[in-house]
Amino acid sequence: ISEVEGSVILHKVNSNNEEPYKQFTFDIVFDVQSKQLDVYNKVARPIVEKVLEGYNGTIFAYGQTGTGKTYTMEGIRTVPELRGIIPNSFAHIFGAIAKADKNTRFLVRVSYLEIYNEEVRDLLGKDQSIRLDVKERPDIGVYVKDLSSFVVHSPNEMDKLMTYGNRNRKFVLNSTRHFHLSQTYGGTVSLVARSSANVHAKNPLNANHM
């Protein structure tokens, strides 16, 4: 394993040197000593910075059930050092907004959805029985029709929406009689719109998704 080169090379034990080895590459590996903020700074911070600069960005976690996806993305939001990527992202965004030029205005809107058995549900919607459709338009690309969104002004408001949405997620009972999320995928969709009062600005209005 070479952390510098970002690669893993596998040799077959007791084989002759003529047999080809297998090489796999990676960007970053986090060990058990890694902190939530380490993961955020290495993986998510550069993407959030690009969103603030005017680009779209995507952050997602995937893997088997019980491998830590929810902990990585959400963490324990009430404990600062245990916060995951989502709450750290919003703390980052609103921190940047607070330091922005006085002529720059921001609008942050948030949606929260769940994919369960290949059906999309609006976790912030009034009717949880409604299944939403995924559409595509030339001007905005792929989107979820009728997905609700809410304006947020602080990380605290975002936290309240996440708490409400999590109450609406699908829970199933497994063989050990414990409730857990099974084959469900939750995601937040954030719109960060930035406008400038400067009439000479090259891009007076910028809207980006994360």
Assigned fold of 7-209: Kinesin (3.40.850)
Report the percent of the chain where pLDDT is more than 90.
Answer: 41
What pTM, to 2 d.p., does this model score? 0.79
What is the pLDDT of the chain when averaged over all its residues?
83
Q: What's residue 199's pLDDT? A: 45
Q: Where are the domains of the chain?
A: 7-209
DSSP annotation string for 28-85: ----TT--HHHHIIIIIHHHHHHHHHT---------STTSSHHHHHTB-TTSGGGB-H
Q: Whose CA is closest to 162, among 119, 210, 114?
A: 114
Mean pLDDT on 5-9 = 84
Name the binding residues for ATP: 63-70
Q: What is the pLDDT of residues 44-103, one digit of tens each?
A: 999 999 999 888 899 989 888 888 898 999 999 889 999 999 999 999 999 999 998 888
User: Tokens 């409730």 appear where?
Assistant: 179
Binding residues: 63-70
